[in-house]
Amino acid sequence: MIKETIWYSSVSKLNEVRKQRVTAIAYYRLSKWLLSLLVCVCYACSVPRSSVSTTSHPAAATINFQDKREYGFNDHTVTFSNRFASARLNNVKQLNDSTFAVVVLPENSPINASPWYAFKLWASHKKNIYIHLTYPDSRHRYDPKVSYSGKSWTPVSGVKLNSAGNDASFKVEAGADTLIIAAQEIIDSSTAYRWIDSVAQKPFIKKQVIGQSILGKPIIALHTTESPGKKLVVVLSRQHPPEVTGFMAMQEFVKTVLAATPLAEHFRKSYEVIMVPLINPDGVDEGNWRHSTAGVDLNRDWTDFKQPETRAVKDYLLNVIAKQQAKAYFGIDFHSTYQDVFYINEDKNNEPTNLPGFTRRWLEAFEAAIPGFKANVRPSGNGGNVSKSWMGRVLKAEALTYEVGDNTPRSALKQKGRVAAETMMELLLKEKML
């Protein structure tokens, strides 16, 4: 008793507070798990969740991380797993012998309705498995795709949506081979980094680590080195984790600009192309719906720059411009949404860019190059907190957000990525610089 009294008296007030905090967090996580379990049983109901500011706040890992584990049923003859990068599966409940409710929750809220999911499924023998994707906080957006290799993906047919839109059901065949089920093709950070490394093998490409994410993953910039470095084009991508089609279009755009064609080679002698392909690697690997691990929409942090990811890009671009006495003439940020959209900055006489009117001229050429294509253009002011607004306002670049449709055929998005690059290069080479 004396020893115990002496020990307790030596504990500082700070440690007592920390202990209370740990206990509170444990109870909080337990209550969340119980709520998720309840949702599985009655998944049409709504789980109340606290609202947080996701615009911009100090950087810290504040999201609700998933419990990475395997969910075994029927003596582990059927198993679900979220133990891989880009997975999103928050709970599984068996409804009958072959039917399962898969609960999909966001990393935090409020949040854009982009409910990403990805999980693995296998069984001891071949059998039909009926899955209900359940969204207590949202509505279904991405119809499932399946793959055994993670490279070739097939859309699941016969998906049924309930009237509320928060339950999507479908059938798959499970067996000994692991089946991957996901909202879109999975391009996790390791896959993206391998692609970045392959691009960096070109002799005229320089690769630089310009910063780190909250979880310590590198933010990488690539840039061409064949020009005098006075005229810049900026290419950004993957601020929002599920927006895979935008990343795919960006890859084709970059491939075209870096190709061994007369047009691309001529262009690279006049313009330096700066590419930051993966701005939110943490969110990608955590299977987040939209945010970074700080619970922040990075494409709403382009005025405050409180997040290390956006701040790294901003600092790098401003440093290049200052060091090289360069100007940015065009900037494009690749995203995804329900359909193809081009969000452009409004032309303002009192806020001229380095190349006034170029975006509209480029879009006209883009349309003309693809028979039957009509660009869905939506202008907005450049006073906002998104990347295209910052590039227009601060860099004085003609800039836009290119939103690629979720279901745009992959062959079509590649064509558009290629044509977008070709028409940009052709027009920029013709322009008389200010």
Report the pLDDT averaged over residues 65-74: 98
Q: Residue for token digits 């190349």?
A: 355
Residues 355, 218 within the same domain:
yes
Do 328 and 428 touch, CB atoms closer than 8 A? no
Report the pLDDT averaged over residues 77-100: 99
Binning pLDDT at 50, 70 and 90, where does residue 55 land?
Answer: low
Residues 201, 307 within the same domain:
yes
Residue 414 lies in a domain: yes
Residues 252, 308 within the same domain:
yes
> What is residue 382's predicted lDDT score, i.e. its pLDDT?
76
CA dihedral 430, 259, 205, 325 (to 10 degrees): 0
What's the CATH number where 388 sits? 3.40.630.10
Binning pLDDT at 50, 70 and 90, where does residue 57 land?
Answer: low
Q: If we measure between CA atoms, which residue out of 122, 112, 218, 250 comes closest to residue 176?
A: 122
Report the pLDDT averaged over residues 395-422: 98
Residues 244, 277 within the same domain:
yes
Of residues 25 and 271, more confidence is placed in 271
Residues 426, 397 within the same domain:
yes
Q: What does residue 127 show for φ and ψ, rounded to 5 degrees?
A: -160, 155
pLDDT 10s digits, 181-210: 999 999 999 999 999 999 999 999 999 999
Report the pLDDT averaged over residues 137-147: 97
239 CB-contact burial (10 Å; exposed 0-12 / middle 13-18 / buried 19+) = buried
Q: Residue for token digits 């450049």?
A: 382
Last residue of a domain, one of 131, 163, 182: 182
> Rg of the chain over CA atoms, in angstroms?
24
Binning pLDDT at 50, 70 and 90, where does residue 433 land?
Answer: low
Residues 243, 118 within the same domain:
no
Residues 109, 203 within the same domain:
no
Residue 51 lies in a domain: no
> What is residue 112's predicted lDDT score, i.e. its pLDDT?
95
Tokens, residue 257: 């600009």
Of residues 163 and 51, more confidence is placed in 163
Strand order from edge to edge, sheet including 179-182: 70-73, 78-81, 118-123, 179-182, 145-147, 154-155
Residue 16 has pLDDT above 80, yes or no: no
pLDDT 10s digits, 26-48: 444 444 444 343 333 333 333 33
Residue 155 has pLDDT above 90, yes or no: yes
> What is residue 59's predicted lDDT score, i.e. its pLDDT?
75
Residue 275 lies in a domain: yes
Whole-number Å distance between alpha carbons of 102 and 116: 12
The 3-state DSSP class for residue 174 equals: strand
Last residue of a domain, one of 153, 182, 211: 182
| Cα separations in angstroms, 263 against 171, 257, 266, 305 | 48, 9, 5, 36
Report the pLDDT averaged over residues 10-15: 37
| Cα separations in angstroms, 30 against 20, 36, 186 | 15, 10, 30
Residue 434 has pLDDT above 80, yes or no: no
Residues 116, 98 within the same domain:
yes
Residues 171, 289 within the same domain:
no
Query: Kind of pairing, strands 327-337 and 398-405?
Result: parallel
Residues 158, 228 within the same domain:
no
Q: Containing domain of residue 281, as a range?
A: 189-430
Last residue of a domain, one of 167, 182, 197: 182
Residue 7 lies in a domain: no
How many of the other CB atoms lie within 10 Å of CB of 351?
A: 15
Whole-number Å distance between alpha carbons of 293 and 213: 9
pLDDT 10s digits, 209-240: 999 999 999 999 999 999 999 999 999 999 99
Binning pLDDT at 50, 70 and 90, where does residue 381 land?
Answer: confident
Residue 355 lies in a domain: yes
pLDDT 10s digits, 351-365: 899 999 999 999 999
Report the pLDDT averaged over residues 369-390: 94
Least confident of 88-102, 109-123, 232-246, 374-388: 374-388
Of residues 274 and 381, more confidence is placed in 274
> What is residue 380's predicted lDDT score, i.e. its pLDDT?
87
Whole-number Å distance between alpha carbons of 259 and 302: 31
Residue 358 lies in a domain: yes
Residue 410 lies in a domain: yes
pLDDT 10s digits, 266-316: 999 999 999 999 999 999 999 999 999 999 999 999 999 999 999 999 999
332 CB-contact burial (10 Å; exposed 0-12 / middle 13-18 / buried 19+) = buried
Report the Cα 322 to chain-centroid distance in Å: 29
Report the pLDDT averaged over residues 257-262: 99
What's the CATH number where 97 sits? 2.60.40.3120
Q: Residue for token digits 């009117």?
A: 357
Residues 134, 259 within the same domain:
no
**Count of domains for the chain:** 2
Residue 11 has pLDDT above 60, yes or no: no
> What is residue 53's predicted lDDT score, i.e. its pLDDT?
54
Query: What single letter denotes the amino acid at residue 16?
Result: E
| Cα separations in angstroms, 332 against 158, 171, 237 | 37, 39, 9
Whole-number Å distance between alpha carbons of 126 and 113: 34
Residue 41 lies in a domain: no
Query: What angle, 0 to 180 degrees and rounded to 10, lies between the N-to-C axes of helices 262-270 and 244-257?
Result: 90
How many of the other CB atoms lie within 10 Å of CB of 91?
A: 23
Report the pLDDT averaged over residues 378-387: 90
Residues 105, 198 within the same domain:
no
Binning pLDDT at 50, 70 and 90, where does residue 372 land?
Answer: very high
Q: Residue for token digits 């719906």?
A: 289
